[in-house]
Amino acid sequence: PAVKPGRCLYPAQSGPWLTFPLCPAAGAQQSATVANPVPGAIPDLLPHFLVEPEDVYIVKNKPVLLVCKAVPATQIFFKCNGEWVRQVDHVIERSTDGSSGLPTMEVRINVSRQQVEKVFGLEEYWCQCVAWSSSGTTKSQKAYIRIAYLRKNFEQEPLAKEVSLEQGIVLPCRPPEGIPPAEVEWLRNEDLVDPSLDPNVYITREHSLVVRQARLADTANYTCVAKNIVARRRSASAAVIVYVDGSWSPWSKWSACGLDCTHWRSRECSDPAPRNGGEECQGTDLDTRNCTSDLCVHTASGPEDVALYVGLIAVAVCLVLLLLVLILVYCRKKEGLDSDVADSSILTSGFQPVSIKPSKADNPHLLTIQPDLSTTTTTYQGSLCPRQDGPSPKFQLTNGHLLSPLGGGRHTLHHSSPTSEAEEFVSRLSTQNYFRSLPRGTSNMTYGTFNFLGGRLMIPNTGISLLIPPDAIPRGKIYEIYLTLHKPEDVRLPLAGCQTLLSPIVSCGPPGVLLTRPVILAMDHCGEPSPDSWSLRLKKQSCEGSWEDVLHLGEEAPSHLYYCQLEASACYVFTEQLGRFALVGEALSVAAAKRLKLLLFAPVACTSLEYNIRVYCLHDTHDALKEVVQLEKQLGGQLIQEPRVLHFKDSYHNLRLSIHDVPSSLWKSKLLVSYQEIPFYHIWNGTQQYLHCTFTLERVSPSTSDLACKLWVWQVEGDGQSFSINFNITKDTRFAELLALESEGGVPALVGPSAFKIPFLIRQKIISSLDPPCSRGADWRTLAQKLHLDSHLSFFASKPSPTAMILNLWEARHFPNGNLSQLAAAVAGLGQPDAGLFTVSEAEC
């Protein structure tokens, strides 16, 4: 029969029970599990569940079965995620309870993987059943249906170890991400490790295998195995070797004295003897010496003895003649060196202290160095910037030196008399002035040659630079200094616990050179700085290759070798020791967040029906951006949306990406699931480059060129971003210019005064005026407050010139676009009586 809108069909039911609707929505409530009695009904006849639906996992593509059974019950329906399941999807079985005679009803439904995948975001898929009787309704518990999986890659695998006897062993293992979470077991040489059978072994809650005291029998290959209902994964095996420090046996007695007037004794490496690839004991196993006993006397009485002594005499004569020849050759070479170098002071003088005055040319920032005719020094003609292909620089001798400015920060030391052996002289001089040979030709490395005038190195478009202040290099020394950006996969940086890499890994060197002032290393970071959310540490790699915490930000000591000025997106490290550095953060709460830059790329030209949109999720730093832009140029990609920033929190939740509202008449998405996912650890670790997901769309027709859709990127229970894509794939290039890489300050190496915004003489006047304490407060402390650097007063005060440290930091932060007028205003506002602090008189020149 026809049913009017808003009404339900009530078929008659035989028996003493009331007629009840087949339209569950009419009588069902959306509240918690409560009974809704019918007025006048007997309260003890409410439905009671004998079987309720339980949580279940979908394995691969197999649907799962949910069952409900209640008594007394006239109707049972399932509701999933707030929506009633269709009646035709229910399998119903009616019966009568044998003991009470009450009607019993059992209902079953199947839930498929496709149904669960339609629900995404923060909500999980759940089902519950509602049972009716003549007295009212009762709701069952909710059953959650989840798609089971187990990733292939372990988040942390055990590593090979060599340990001494009775030393503790810890083999960490972080299983792949999975639902349900994977169970972990350990194999020793393919045999299961059972802690209940071996009290010397236990497995921690974090799945690490711990051996309390290593035994020789513990030498084996260990494998971490993770398994759940979907799959079983094996980590790479870790070889553990337990060794014993062996030693020598006691020396044997001395042997009898031989014909050659010597006797010997021996010992063995047998305490214990090396085995299983163990090393031999250090030292010798045989000891000989001359006999001192009077019994060891014999004379040359036979022809064999005469021949022996004649041979020894002949060998001695040959050795004497060879020694004479070597002495003669050495003297000849020494004479050649003396003819080239007229004054031995050449090898030690280098650049002498000089008087400096501004050039009278149009460029007031370039300085000329007056000749010092009292000394004889070596001079260098050629660029002090990174070397280009071309003829080798020439070194000559002269009676003086003159440093004159050239364009682009290049300087030439002029000479007056040529010499024919310049290259040989370069090799001799380089050993005296600490030149270092370096690999050339990489886009992530720059280098230059510097002296006491200082300079600057920068890797373009990365935010990485090294400021070498004046007098940081001792006078008389010349260093070739380099600056390198490393790819995370090329440098093994161990991270423990919740630590994450926040900055690029940068090297400046060579290590071990003598510096008399701190240099300043500048690099980006992607952390949201908050003292309550982060514990930040500066790590430095030692000569042995291990990484050490050299600075805990916020706990710096003024006399420390390292210091750091942390800003919103960059950090500036003061250091007197060059080396390899990285900024690492450890989350103190779930509020700790990293900035991720989201970039959308697609092909510039699309010649097939398929069209790929690549979504990159990378650190919000210039170096990471540069790498992706260069990669996409090689792939022929273009930016199709303005970049966005997402705050990724330490909540252990993954990053999800999905595409929506694709016009089905023009395009078809080839994505088989509702969303793609990047595991939390892959992002939080910070050492994986080019993290991205690809969405493949297929055009219905080759003539289709307009694309309109939405793309969502969000962290589960966290921040998210939405992109509205609407453009023509064949001719729309309006976002291409957003990521055009610009040159930062010209050449990557600047030497001498051209590397600094503040002219040298003005810098010296500021230092001499503000370093002395002033009772009116017009000194370096007030300047630090005006520049918002007053939190570092104790560090500045620990240095010989606090003002120089402040100006050096200003140079590092504001080059090349710093406003010198603002600095001048800050200095002028200190109330110094010298109103012409930023002017240079003719007499001073």
Instruction: Tell me the angle at which helices 303-340 and 422-432 cross, rounded to the nearest 10 degrees.
Output: 100
Instruction: Please name the residue ranges forming H helices in 381-434.
Output: 422-432
Joined together, the tokens standing for residue 761 give 């003489």
**Omega before 11 cis (within 30°)?**
no
CATH code for the part of the protein at 48-147? 2.60.40.10
Boundaries of every domain in the chain? 48-147, 150-243, 447-587, 595-742, 756-829
Which residues are paired to 67 by β-bridges? 108
Three-state secondary-structure class, residue 544 = coil
Report the relative pairing of strands 610-619 and 499-501 from DSSP bridges: unpaired
d(CA 130, CA 79): 8
Residue of 308, 294, 218 whose CA lies nearest to 257 = 294
pLDDT of residue 746: 58
Joined together, the tokens standing for residue 811 give 């140079």
> Residue 796: which residues within 8 A CB-CB, separation 6 or more?
780, 784, 789, 802, 805, 806
Residue of 515, 485, 493 whose CA lies nearest to 575 = 515
d(CA 70, CA 100): 13
N residues, the chain: 845
Three-state secondary-structure class, residue 490 = helix
- Could you report the per-residue pLDDT of 748-800, keeping only the tens digit for each? 899 999 899 999 899 999 999 898 887 666 788 889 888 888 888 888 888 88
Q: Which residues of the chain have pLDDT under 50?
A: 1-43, 294-301, 336-441, 743-745, 834-835, 840-845
d(CA 345, CA 286): 51
d(CA 150, CA 154): 10
Options 2.60.220.30, 3.50.30.30, 3.40.140.10, 3.40.50.720; CATH for 447-587 is 2.60.220.30
Residue of 94, 91, 111, 112 whose CA lies nearest to 103 = 94
CB neighbours of residue 614 within 10 Å? 20
- Could you report the per-residue pLDDT of 352-399, keeping only the tens digit for each? 333 333 333 444 333 333 333 333 333 333 333 333 333 333 333 333
Do domains 150-243 and 595-742 share one topology? The answer is yes
What pTM value is reported for the model?
0.53
Joined together, the tokens standing for residue 6 give 């808003």
Q: Name the CATH superfamily, with its identifier, for domain 756-829.
A: Death Domain, Fas (1.10.533.10)
CATH code for the part of the protein at 150-243? 2.60.40.10
d(CA 505, CA 521): 12
Assign domain 595-742 to its CATH architecture: Sandwich (2.60)
Instruction: Please name the residue ranges forming H helices in 636-716.
Output: 680-685
CB burial class (10 A; 0-12, 13-18, 19+) of residue 463? buried
Joined together, the tokens standing for residue 495 give 């991270």
d(CA 177, CA 552): 32
